[in-house]
Amino acid sequence: MSDDDTLGGYERVHQRAPAFGGPDGLAYTVATFVDDTPDAHGRYGAALLFLRWSVGADRPSGHLETDYLAFGRTPDEAVAPVLALTLAEVKAYLDRCVAVAG
């Protein structure tokens, strides 16, 4: 696996969010989301947030997000497994989110 095969690695190497073509024909970029405050069990949740771009990709037109994919005692601990996802895994999450959004 190369340095930019994971979400976190891609962001470090390219200094930008990765972009994907969705199954709906639209472009998406991805970011991580981490709760600002812990839940009742003291855990922070982390998820993926997909920004959908308009036809022509000149402006954002909405977003999709996964359920929580990881939890941790700190925001950094929660987001670490999400940043370790391969880009193929991130794309699979995007495809599922688009399918659910219908």
Domain ranges in the chain?
Answer: 7-101
Please give the model's pTM, rounded to 2 decimal places.
Answer: 0.93
Cβ–Cβ < 8 Å for 84, 6: yes
Question: How confident is the prediction along the chain (102 residues), in pLDDT tens digits per residue?
Answer: 667 899 999 999 999 999 999 999 999 999 999 999 999 999 999 999 999 999 887 899 999 999 999 999 999 999 999 999 999 999 999 999 999 998
CA distance 51 to 80: 20
CA distance 49 to 40: 23
Structure confidence by residue, pLDDT tens digits, 9-24: 999 999 999 999 999 9
What three-state secondary structure class fits 47?
strand
Provide the greatest CA pair distance for the chain: 44
